């Protein structure tokens, strides 16, 4: 049984013609509230729940909730909205500072960063090619400890270094997925990255169907990120000692995506190369599975 306490009733780089979808394109314009949204917002406004948040989708679905802290309330709102929308939602309002204006700010910051993006020297950054002689995994790492030496390669996946990734971004803007999740250190991420909350964490549930349900919910989220499973998807976390990206890749692979790239160096390699970050906003969350 989910341990959720909630109330519920119901993104582009200038000059790159190849870009089809990006969070910047999606986030530039706010979602306009329709009649269904307004009904939900009325209940949200009247609710006396602590640390509450209200999430909405372009399809007209919504969810709200609260809890012990603001992050809890925001994740509950997103989880509920996604359950009805069968896809990503946005925080419209919360007891914290997150709202639709944060998404527009992410879009603007990403576009500025990408327009000025430079290709760094073609070398290793922050041990991104370090070989610890670790065998690639065959299944999700179930430990709560996601820190540890990683293999240098994963079956069916291409590993990409920092300079190569920048060239790819400037050439075609692949879908970038931040597997650290929402609320990662410093609340920053790569420009135009989709932050999918808890995509890399193991399922903490007594039910043997937990992993299957998570992947079932991940399917429409990934379809919103990139419907064409042959197009490039780049997954990263913090560094070459972070397993969140590996877990995320295994899940994305299971959905049939065939052009996955692993940015093994992650945000620490990106930082060492002197490349820009933007403040995170959540694209979607799988948080409810991690607290079961």
Domain containing 54: what range? Answer: 6-103
DSSP bridge pairs for 189: 278
Mean pLDDT of the region 196-208: 81
Predicted local distance difference test score (pLDDT) of residue 97: 78
Give the confidence band of 284 by pLDDT, cuts at 50, 70, 90. very high
2 vs 270, more confident: 270
Regarding whether 207 and 167 lie in a shared domain, the answer is yes
Mean pLDDT of the region 261-285: 97
Residue 1 in domain: no
Regarding whether 262 and 122 lie in a shared domain, the answer is yes
Residue 87 in domain: yes
Q: Tell which residue, 67, 98, 137, has the closest CA to residue 288.
A: 67
Regarding whether 77 and 27 lie in a shared domain, the answer is yes
Whether pLDDT at 169 is above 70:
yes
Give the confidence band of 206 by pLDDT, cuts at 50, 70, 90. low
Residue 231 in domain: yes
Last residue in a domain, options 78, 103, 128: 103
Regarding whether 219 and 132 lie in a shared domain, the answer is yes
- Residue 64 CA to residue 203 CA, distance in Å, equals 23
pTM given for the model: 0.91
List the helix and strand counts (H, then E) for the chain.
Answer: 9, 12
Hey, is 4 helix, strand or coil? coil
Regarding whether 56 and 135 lie in a shared domain, the answer is no
> Starting at the edge strand that comes first in sequence, how are the strands of the sheet with 62-65 ordered?
6-7, 62-65, 53-56, 90-94
Whether pLDDT at 118 is above 90:
yes
Predicted local distance difference test score (pLDDT) of residue 15: 34
Last residue in a domain, options 103, 135, 152: 103
Contact, 231 vs 174, CB < 8 A?
A: yes
Regarding whether 125 and 97 lie in a shared domain, the answer is no
Regarding whether 82 and 159 lie in a shared domain, the answer is no
Regarding whether 183 and 60 lie in a shared domain, the answer is no
Hey, is 39 helix, strand or coil? helix
Give the confidence band of 31 by pLDDT, cuts at 50, 70, 90. very high
Supply φ then ψ for residue 217, to 5 degrees.
-75, -30
Q: Tell which residue, 287, 217, 222, has the closest CA to residue 77.
A: 287
DSSP 193-225: EEEEETTTSPP--S-TTHHHHHHHHHHHHHHHH
Strands 62-65 and 6-7: antiparallel
Regarding whether 278 and 142 lie in a shared domain, the answer is yes
| Domains: count for the chain | 2
- Condensed to tens digits (0 to 9), the pLDDT of residues 184-201 reads 777 899 999 999 999 999
Supply φ then ψ for residue 54, to 5 degrees.
-130, 125
Q: Read off the DSSP letter of residue 256.
A: T
Predicted local distance difference test score (pLDDT) of residue 209: 66
Mean pLDDT of the region 80-84: 96
Residue 248 is part of a domain; what is its CATH number?
Answer: 3.40.250.10
Residue 112 in domain: no
Predicted local distance difference test score (pLDDT) of residue 18: 41
CB environment 67-95: b (16+ within 10 A), e (fewer): beebbbbbbbbbbbbbebbebbbbbbbbe
Regarding whether 146 and 78 lie in a shared domain, the answer is no
Rg (CA), the chain: 19
CB environment 178-205: b (16+ within 10 A), e (fewer): bbbbbebeeebbbbbbbbbbbbbbbbeb
Predicted local distance difference test score (pLDDT) of residue 133: 97
Regarding whether 278 and 217 lie in a shared domain, the answer is yes
Regarding whether 270 and 185 lie in a shared domain, the answer is yes
Mean pLDDT of the region 69-86: 94
- Condensed to tens digits (0 to 9), the pLDDT of residues 36-67 reads 999 999 999 998 889 999 999 999 999 999 98
């Amino acid at each position: 049984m989910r341990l959720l306490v909630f109330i519920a009733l119901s993104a582009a780089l200038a000059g790159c013609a190849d870009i089809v979808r990006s969070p910047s394109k999606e986030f530039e314009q706010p979602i306009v509230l329709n009649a269904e949204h307004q009904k939900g917002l009325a209940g949200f406004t009247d609710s006396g729940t602590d640390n509450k948040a209200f999430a909405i989708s372009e399809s007209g679905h919504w969810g709200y909730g609260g809890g012990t802290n603001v992050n809890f309330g925001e994740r509950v709102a997103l989880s509920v909205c996604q359950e009805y929308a069968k896809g990503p939602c946005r925080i419209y309002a919360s007891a914290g500072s997150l709202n639709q204006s944060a998404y527009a700010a992410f879009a603007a910051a990403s576009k500025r960063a990408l327009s000025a993006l430079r290709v760094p020297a073609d070398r290793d950054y922050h041990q991104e090619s370090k070989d610890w002689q670790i065998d690639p995994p065959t299944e999700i790492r179930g430990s709560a400890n996601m820190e540890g030496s990683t293999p240098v390669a994963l079956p069916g996946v291409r590993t990409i270094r920092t300079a190569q990734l920048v060239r790819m971004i400037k050439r075609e803007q692949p879908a970038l997925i931040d597997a650290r999740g929402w609320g990662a250190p410093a609340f920053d991420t790569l420009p135009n990255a989709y932050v999918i909350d808890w995509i890399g964490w193991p399922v903490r549930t007594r039910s043997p169907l937990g992993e299957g349900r998570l992947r079932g919910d991940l399917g429409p989220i990934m379809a919103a990120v990139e419907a064409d499973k042959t197009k490039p998807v780049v997954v990263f976390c913090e560094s070459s000692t972070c397993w969140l990206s590996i877990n995320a890749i295994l899940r994305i692979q299971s959905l049939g995506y065939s052009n996955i790239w692993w940015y093994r160096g992650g945000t620490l390699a990106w930082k060492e190369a002197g490349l820009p970050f933007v403040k995170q906003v959540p694209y979607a969350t799988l948080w409810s599975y991690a607290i079961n």
